[in-house]
Structure 1
Amino acid sequence: MTQTAIPYILMRGGTSKGPYFRRSDLPEDLDALAKVLIAALGSGQSLNIDGIGGGAAVTTKVAMLSVGEDDWADIDYFFAQVSVEDKLVDFKPTCGNILSGVAPAAIEMGLFKPQGDETEIRIRAVNTGARVVAKVNTPGGELTYEGDAEIAGVPGHSAPVQLSFMGVVGSATGAFMPTGKLRDTVQGIELTCMDVAMPMAIARAADFGLTGYESAEELDGNRAFFDQMEAVRIEAGERMGMGDVSKSVTPKFGLVAPARDGGTLAVRYFMPWKTHPTMAVTGAQCMASCALTPGTVADGLLDRHTASPAEVVLEHASGKIDVLVDFSTDEGFTVKAAGLVRTARKLADGHVYVPKSVWKES
């Protein structure tokens, strides 16, 4: 054969979708790995027509799983964000939506055995070091995707995947507030630069002349806003100690506005070069933390919770996402853990093929 076959499972995890691989079935070298993932997903063309990517940032995500290497984790989860058109792979961030599919995928791959009617799996996000406990339904010791849980952005209902994120503060930059300030002014825009599960630069929508209630399509069509936002994001990344982020998807960018549908805060999240159609799980934790922290750009936009744990309801472009945040105010505001409920579903399995000129498995 002139192609290399790689076993995979195609999973929907939360509001994202992509291939899940065993890490051992892929090249160890990151440059070689990037070339394989670019070929497998068809990066380099808007429709990803020569691969299994779906032509959107939420459908060109990759999970690579292995048995945990430390004493705590059952499963190590290594994430890759493959670009749609630019033939780039970013190994810096993690993805909480794709993480929603890690526990069921690990069971499907035989990396972890179900334990009774509910199975708990401890997951280490290799990219950031974050630790997550996932609970999935396994009635009679059998994994199920059937259930009554619903999440905005996904039709129908499925079995719940309960996620508890621990050690999320400073996972990428080493600090809750990477610039050392609750607010920074970058190119005339006031920002809160925060690192909780995902490093982010967060601004008020009004400061960009927006309402914060625009649809994803409306925002994607506003190229003047994107140009301004990207310039602000790049400078914010430098101030956060992340270096030149012009070719990195982190820090992500978020906008906040007063809620208008009974939630805590209206938000829009950027990936960063397109508007997220819903909300990233990691980004939701960071924006919920911003909402709860006194002195951030969220001041004046909400009635802030003061008792822990607090349920923060974020109104995003396709609905709402609930984040339960456990925090302490003993020595300033500190996030201890965050929890969410997502869903996942196995869509297909088999082999994905890449040309041997890209990778000839030894």
Structure 2
Amino acid sequence: MNDLIRIPCVLMRGGTSRGPFFLASDLPQAPAARDAVLLSVMGSGHHLEIDGIGGGNALTSKVAIVGPSRRPGADVDYLFAQVKVLEQAVDTSPNCGNMLAAVGPFAIEAGLVPVQDGVTTLRIHNVNTGKVIESRVLTPGGRVLYDGDVAISGVPGTAAPITLTFLDSAGSKTGALLPTGAARNTFDGVEVTCLDAAMPVVILRAADLGKTGQESPAELNADSQFLRRLESIRIQAGEAMGIANVRDRVIPKPVLIAPGVETGQTGDSLITRYFMPHECHSALAITGAVALANACATPGTLAAEMTAVAAFPAELTFAHATGRLQLTIDHPAGAPAPVVSVIRTARRLFEGAVFAKPSVWEKATPQRTENRDPILRSMP
């Protein structure tokens, strides 16, 4: 083990995702060098990621990098990295709202923010999008509480609630809520809404692509003709949104929507199927849900056509392949755009170190630093 490079990390579940959390000071500063190390330690390039700690799935091949914030008014900086399982590539263009749920507990326990007795509120600057999210973490007695009675779809059991409030989500990557300047556009004869709030998305009616919206992810992923058509629309929409190199990026994300179904006294606002972007997600990404909530509150969009938000605050429920996701959307007086809140859970799974090969580390950085001060060095 002496010939390996030890990198401290904590393995955490955040919402319906899982991955290692690193202090930025423990990774190389340059983005290319940092990414080379991440590819190695995660085992990218093999479908099982057998030579690393990745889970062989897009939901479990994610990394969070956290450090003190350089942004005034924020407590910590959080950089999300999607490590692709097979392509040996790292994408830092999107945010991940599920991994975001674990950033607050990680930052508190790493000593990056002072803990409060009862509830600790911190402001997280997402470096990927430049946006700030407020996280409220239960900390009775000055310690993070993980156990609780909140259940979320896609995660077995229950845990303590973590409230995430997206304070200003519009224009996360493009600088505009409606990047094309219109609430609707048409590509390949299909009407879509291109919207950017927490995540750039392309919203499509499922019926316009011959789907009901209630198909399983396996059914949708097996329909190669449908996937080719969806990708063609995604690429054209992304280019119209001003996103460069769309073919090689995971944004924008396609989202199929269908009218919600009434169940007793309640009902779903929308039925959704979310794509990663080349395969259907088993659930609904938090950032994708924030985008959909904003679309519901934006006149003229396809989502508003199905579920218009008539007054604030409003409760929205999005059905997905493995359950439901509930959000609250409000538009406080003076706020430039709606504010979306969602409840997630997280759990600390394992802490210790992951080991990088010296050959990878030496190529990544000429001189290994032993500085453990949590100084943010690796943000692009």
TM-score (norm 2): 0.91
Q: 1:194 and 1:276 mapped to 2: Cα distance?
A: 19
Partner of residue 292 from structure 1, selected from 277, 293, 297: 297
Deviation at 1:299, TM superposition (A): 4.9
> 1:29 maps to which residue?
30
Q: Does the 8 A contact of 2:294 with 2:338 survive in 1?
A: no
Q: Does the 8 A contact of 2:121 with 2:134 survive in 1?
A: yes
Q: Letter of the aligned partner of 2:11 in structure 1?
A: L
> SS of the counterpart of 1:100?
helix
| 1:276 matches 2:281 | yes
| Residue pairs, 1:196-235, within 5 angstroms | 196-235=197-236
> 1:344 maps to which residue?
346
Deviation at 1:328, TM superposition (A): 7.4
| Distance 1:62-1:181 versus aligned 2 partners, 3 A rule | same
Q: Does the 8 A contact of 2:78 with 2:125 survive in 1?
A: yes
> 1:99 maps to which residue?
100
Q: Does the 8 A contact of 1:234 with 1:244 survive in 2?
A: no
Partner of residue 316 from structure 1, selected from 320, 325, 334: 320
Q: 2:333 and 2:214 mapped to 1: Cα distance?
A: 31
Q: 1:193 and 1:217 mapped to 2: Cα distance?
A: 26
Task: Output one character per residue of 1:310-342: Cα deviation in whole Å (capped at 9) or x when no partner.
Answer: 1111011111111111237999xx633110000
Q: 1:273 and 1:24 mapped to 2: Cα distance?
A: 33
Q: Does the 8 A contact of 1:6 with 1:351 survive in 2?
A: yes
> 2:357 maps to which residue?
355
Q: Letter of the aligned partner of 1:53 in structure 2?
A: G
Aligned residues: 359
Q: Letter of the aligned partner of 2:327 in structure 1?
A: V
Q: Does the 8 A contact of 2:42 with 2:53 survive in 1?
A: yes
> 1:305 maps to which residue?
309
Q: Does the 8 A contact of 2:152 with 2:345 survive in 1?
A: yes
TM-score (norm 1): 0.96
- What percent of counterpart residues are identical? 46
Q: Does the 8 A contact of 1:269 with 1:276 survive in 2?
A: yes
Q: 1:30 and 1:322 mapped to 2: Cα distance?
A: 35
Q: Does the 8 A contact of 1:288 with 1:314 survive in 2?
A: no
| 1:254 matches 2:255 | yes
Deviation at 1:259, TM superposition (A): 1.2
Q: Letter of the aligned partner of 1:205 in structure 2?
A: A
Q: Does the 8 A contact of 1:325 with 1:335 survive in 2?
A: no
Deviation at 1:177, TM superposition (A): 0.4
Aligned-CA RMSD value? 1.6
> 2:45 maps to which residue?
44
Q: 2:96 and 2:72 mapped to 1: Cα distance?
A: 23
> 1:124 maps to which residue?
125
Deviation at 1:258, TM superposition (A): 0.9
Following TM superposition, the consecutive aligned residue runs of length 4 or more in structure 1 with deviations greater than 2 angstroms are: 291-294, 298-302, 327-331
> What are structure 2's unaligned runs of at least 5 residues?
363-367, 370-380
Q: 1:299 and 1:69 mapped to 2: Cα distance?
A: 37
Q: Letter of the aligned partner of 2:119 in structure 1?
A: E
Q: 2:278 and 2:89 mapped to 1: Cα distance?
A: 13
Task: Output one character per residue of 1:206-239: Cα deviation in whole Å (capped at 9) or x when no partner.
Answer: 1111100111121122222111111111111110
Task: Output one character per residue of 1:251-294: Cα deviation in whole Å (capped at 9) or x when no partner.
Answer: 11101001125110111111112211111111101012222322
| Residue pairs, 1:59-138, within 5 angstroms | 59-138=60-139
Q: 2:233 and 2:144 mapped to 1: Cα distance?
A: 45
Q: Does the 8 A contact of 2:282 with 2:322 survive in 1?
A: yes
| 1:327 matches 2:331 | yes
Q: 2:203 and 2:3 mapped to 1: Cα distance?
A: 48
| Distance 1:6-1:330 versus aligned 2 partners, 3 A rule | closer
Q: 1:2 and 1:228 mapped to 2: Cα distance?
A: 49
Q: 2:194 and 2:74 mapped to 1: Cα distance?
A: 29
> 2:57 maps to which residue?
56
Task: Output one character per residue of 1:72-118: Cα deviation in whole Å (capped at 9) or x when no partner.
Answer: 11111011111011001111111110000000011222222311111
